[in-house]
Structure 1
Amino acid sequence: MDLDNPVVRLCGEGMRAEVEGRPDDARALFSQAWEQASDDYEACVAAHYLARHQPTVADRLYWNRVCLQRADAVGDERVAAFYPSLHVALAHCHRELGNIDAAARHFRHAADHLDALPTGPYGEWLRYTVAEGLRDTGALVRTPGEERLAQLLESLCERKDLRSLALPLPAFVGNLGTPSDHERLAQAAQQLHAEQRLSPQEQEALRHAVAALP
C-alpha cells in the first residue's frame, strides 16, 4: 500500500494504536480514514480496518461487505492482496451467524486468491486459516489417506517429535485440496517414510497412509 496516502497513513496509525492497547483511539482513526476517503481504493482500505472494530457480528459483516464492494470497484492490482483476508473475514462472520454455506463459499474464494499474497509467514498462516475453514464448513473432506496420516501426526504431536513433524505437518494443515497441495503432502509423507526414523509400527502406518493419498 502507498504509505504516503493520507487514508493509508491513518489506518497505519490506527493499527499502531490497536497494538498498543488503545482500541478507542484505533476506532477513531479508522473512522477518520473512512470519512476522508475520496475514492473506491481509499474507501476499501478504510472499511477493511473499520470492520475490525465493530460491536456486533452483523456490523462486521456489513463493513466487510462494503470493503468487498469497493475492492471490486477498484478492480486492479492495488487490492489483489486484500481479497484473501477479506473473504476470510466474511466467512468468519457468516459462520458465527450460522450461514455455513455462505461461509464455505467465502473460504473457497479466499483460497482462490491466496496466490496474490507474497511468500512468507503471513501468507502461510492465512493458508492454514483457509484450509481449516474449508474443513470446518464441509467444503473440504479429507481422503482416507489423509485421515490415516492425521492419526499418525496426532501421535507425533503427543510425544512432541518436532523433527518428524517438520515436513509433513505444514503440508497437512495447509492442504486446500488442490492437485498441487495433494502432491506436496504426498511428497512430504514419502520423505518422512524414506528417513526411516519412526518406529516399525509407525512406519507401517505411514506406508499405508502414503499408499492411500491421492
Structure 2
Amino acid sequence: MTTAPATPDPVMEAIGRAVAQGRTGDPAAARRTLLDLWSAIGVTGDPLHRCTLAHHLADLYDDPAQALAWDVRALDAADALTEQRLRTHHEGLRLAGFHPSLHLNLADLYRRLGSFDAATAHLTEARRHVSALPGDAYGTLVRTVIGEVAEAIARRDTARRASAPGAGA
C-alpha cells in the first residue's frame, strides 16, 4: 500500500525496523529485537502488534517447528484483531487479506514437518480466503506460492522451498 498509516505507531515502526534488519543480513539481531518486543507486548497485548510481529518473526527461523510456533501465534492474534483496530493503523488494510498468507505459511510449515493432512487443511483455508487478496504483486505472489505449496504437498516433499521467506539466509 502506498498510503501512510492512519496514526503513528511506535511498536509497528520498531517491528518494521527489525524486519528490515533481518532482510539486510542480520537475522539473529532481528530475532532478538522482535523477541524483546514480544516480551514488552505480552501474549494479551494489541492483536495487531502480536500478529505482525509473530508473522515476521516466524520468517527469521530456519527450523520449521520454531517458525510454526510463531505462525500459530500470528493466526491466533489475527483472529483477535478487529477491522476497526486495523483501520486505525492503516485505512487501506482489510483483515480478510491476512488469512490467505497466514494459512499458507502454516500449510508450508506443516508440509516441511511432514504433517501433510494439517498442511492440506491450512492450504484449503488459504484458498478459501484467496478472493480477499488484492490484484497487485502481493496478491499474485501469494496465489503463486499457494500453487507451489500444493504441488509440494502432492509430492510429499518436505524440503524448504527456494522462494520461502528467509531461504538462504
Q: TM-score, structure 2 length as denominator?
A: 0.71
- Tell me if 1:102 matches 2:102: no
Q: Residue 41 of structure 1 aligns to which amino acid in structure 2? A: L
More helix per residue: 1
Instruction: Describe the superposition over 1:144-181 as per-residue Cα deviations: whole angstroms up to 9, x where unpaired.
Output: xxxxxxxxxxxxxxxxxxxxxxxxxxxxxxxxxxxxxx
Map of 1:51 onto structure 2: 58
Instruction: Give the SS at the match of 2:15.
Output: helix
- Tell me if 1:82 matches 2:89: no
Map of 1:60 onto structure 2: 67
Q: Residue 71 of structure 1 aligns to which amino acid in structure 2? A: A
How far apart, in 2, do the equivalents of 1:29 and 1:116 lie? 31
Aligned alpha-carbon RMSD (Å): 2.1
How far apart, in 2, do the equivalents of 1:11 and 1:116 lie? 25
Matched-pair identity in %: 33
Map of 2:47 onto structure 1: 40
Map of 1:4 onto structure 2: 8
C-alpha displacement of 1:45: 1.4
Contact 1:83 1:110 in 2 (8 A): yes
Map of 1:27 onto structure 2: 31
C-alpha displacement of 1:91: 0.8
Give structure 1 regions of 4+ aligned residues with deviation exceeding 6 angstroms.
Answer: none
Q: Residue 115 of structure 2 aligns to which amino acid in structure 1? A: N
Deviates more, 1:88-97 or 1:129-138: 129-138
Instruction: Give the SS at the match of 2:134.
Output: coil
- The gaps in structure 2 that reach 5 residues or longer are 87-94, 155-169
Q: Which of the pair has more CA radius of gyration?
A: 1
Q: Which of the numbers 78, 85, 89 marks the counterpart of 1:71?
A: 78
Q: TM-score, structure 1 length as denominator?
A: 0.58
Q: Choose between structure 1 and 2 for higher RCO, CA contacts under 8 A separated by at least 6 residues.
A: 2
How far apart, in 2, do the equivalents of 1:42 and 1:19 lie? 19
C-alpha displacement of 1:35: 2.4
- Tell me if 1:120 matches 2:136: yes
- The gaps in structure 1 that reach 5 residues or longer are 139-214
Q: Residue 13 of structure 2 aligns to which amino acid in structure 1? A: R
Q: Residue 16 of structure 1 aligns to which amino acid in structure 2? A: A
C-alpha displacement of 1:75: 4.4
Instruction: Describe the superposition over 1:53-93 as per-residue Cα deviations: whole angstroms up to 9, x where unpaired.
Output: 23521111111111111111124373332222211111111
C-alpha displacement of 1:24: 2.1
Instruction: Give the SS at the match of 1:47.
Output: helix
How far apart, in 2, do the equivalents of 1:106 and 1:28 lie? 29
Contact 1:47 1:67 in 2 (8 A): yes
